[in-house]
Homo-oligomer: A and B are copies of this chain.
Amino acid sequence: MNKQNEIKVTFQPSGRSVFALPGTLLLEAAGRAGVALQTPCGGRGTCGKCRVRIVSGECPPSAADLQALSAEQVQQGYRLACRTYIVGPLTVEIPAESLFGGAQQILTSHAGRSAVLNPVIRKTYFHLDPPSRDSAVSDVERLKSVIGEVTIPFHLLQKLAGFLRGQNWQGTAVLAGKRLIGLEAGDTSATAYGVAFDLGTTTVVGTLFDLVSGQEKAVASTMNPQVSFGDDVISRISRIRENDGALAQLQQSALTAIRSVIQKLGEQASVDTRHIYEVAIAGNSTMQQLLCGLDSSALGEVPFVQAFSSALTISAQTLGLPVNPGGEVYIFPQIGGFVGGDTVAGMLASGLDKTGEATLLVDIGTNGEIVLAHNGRMQATSAAAGPAFEGARIVQGMRATAGAIEKVILGEDVILNVIGNARPVGLCGTALIDAAAELLRKGLIDETGRILSADEAPDGISPALRARLIEINGQVNFLLVAAEVSGSGEPVYLWQKDVRELQLATGAIRAGINILLRRAGLEPADLGSVLLAGAFGNFIRRNNARRIGLLPQIACRRIHFVGNAASLGAQLALLSADERELASQLGRTTEHVDLSLDPEFQMEFGMAMMFPENDVDACNDVR
């Protein structure tokens, strides 16, 4: 991404800054800076609660500002964040009353969801009256009379009498909800950490949080070593179906990754990992089940059946994690088939059940997960997009690392962005979408996905572009980089074959979207918003994704990025018992739509592979 085009916005009094593209909503920019604003009207510009003051920078008032605010306020620089589009660098002051939640400690996700800090793990420093003539109740009752009704596991009951007397009747109780999980000498109530994990098929990301302050302390990640068993979940499931020992190996691989991330986090933040009391993990069905050592063979045959659906709480010792011996592991609830905990976490983080309008959440990846919320009903499905968006099965595809073309613009000639200021050697997923969208705009690909030859190209095409339509072995390919300027010394093409792969990936996801819409009785135009989640979703150019038909034909301003929603959801569940309860509720109430069982899926899929003839919206956003 080219940071040159982006505009710096600084928020006071926190001093946090973000860079945003022109046209970004100020509310969205604030969210990305971790500033959650009140939006009881849902961002419709009517309640006036999200007002902020522009301290410096160009920011003309909108019609909504003039209506919701007094003339004096407008003159003082007040604006509604939900109606203000960024056009130039700004310094913005956030009045305390506009902050979400008032005096309570508020957590904010980049997706704009906020929650009150209320972790399941709590520590209570207690100081009991010793037994006396007037009070000779049992040790357990004495403790409960101060810390409240809790269940006490047998090993702590065995320790209790000696602990209380040895520690002069004081100490710190570590609680997981209503369960006592630890007894610590002295007052350690200020020291409690937790880790939220996004357990991905490819990457494992952990975020360490101080559970007392709610602050993020460190982020660390590692490759999921399960990739040595296969890139995607299907190949890993096949392994366990074929090989008795594979389940244990896959489990250990995932656990090794989790352990190493925990160790890294501890080192980065100088936190003793014994002070980590909980690990909250969100992953897809296969990742969650393999982590737990659950036989996932049933995910390899129709109908795809999960081992469990409600959330799990497992002792960290059972999984051998290097955390507090009493620590616990929370595994997200699952919805059905391949719609797993990462989707529930994404729903939680994006708050799609709260928008009050038909909302689509799309996490684009090897498995695309799609959720549609409409009138309180939620449906979720997964679509096997394949790895094209990750650069796999693309002739010169690659991951989004140095040397990857990540952006393609066609003017008179080709304009490229390359990651890491390097010479281009291949193209990553976003460039694949860009190239196809731009060729469609120029009329150089027809709606069936065929790249036209130089002879067939429309009249207005520049000679430079026309020269790039090069036939090899009877198929036309589009030359993106000539051999002499490429990093490898080889030319880089968008191959006809790549367009076919893109059509398969796009068709799968779009068919899923269409089927959910149809089941809800909706047209694409009825969608109030589309939320893009996941690592890939956040780098996509919205207009290009829509141009190739991956997203429905709705205005770009209704398409929002919600960041790594799975990770953010895991963080919310770690930091708030209420959010965790909400996750259970979302898991229970969301309908699972199994596309493999839908009689119309094949037809929808075939139709969705065709590129749209036109793109309805002419918005100018560049991503």
Contacts and interface: CB of A to CB of B under 8 A. Distances in A.
Interface of A: 131-133, 136-141, 154, 157-158, 160-162, 165, 292-298, 302-310, 312, 314-315, 318, 334, 336-337, 592, 594, 597
Contact of A136 (B138, B157, B303, B310): B303
B308 A140 contact: yes
A293 B314 CA distance: 25
A137 B298 contact: no
Contact of A303 (B132, B294, B304): B132
A132 B136 CA distance: 60
Contact of A158 (B139, B293, B315): B293
B297 A140 contact: no
A307 B154 contact: no
Contacts of A161: 294-298, 307
27 contacts: A131-B298, A131-B305, A132-B303, A133-B302, A136-B304, A136-B337, A136-B592, A136-B594, A137-B305, A139-B298, A139-B308, A140-B307, A140-B308, A140-B309, A154-B312, A154-B315, A157-B307, A157-B308, A158-B292, A158-B295, A161-B295, A161-B296, A161-B298, A161-B307, A162-B295, A165-B297, A165-B298
A234 B237 CA distance: 61
A139 B305 contact: yes
B597 A139 contact: no
A308 B159 CA distance: 12
Given A131-B298, A157-B292, A318-B154, A309 B137 contact: yes
Nearest to A152: B308
A138 B303 contact: no
Contacts of A157: 292, 294, 307-308, 312
Contact of A137 (B141, B293, B302, B336): B336
Contacts of A312: 154, 157
Nearest to A306: B138
A139 B309 CA distance: 8
Contacts of A305: 131, 136-139
Nearest to A597: B133
A314 B151 CA distance: 13
Contacts of A594: 136
Contacts of A141: 309
A391 to B, nearest CB: 32
Given A161-B295, A298-B139, A133 B303 contact: yes
Nearest to A318: B154
A258 to B, nearest CB: 16
Contact of A154 (B132, B137, B303, B314): B314
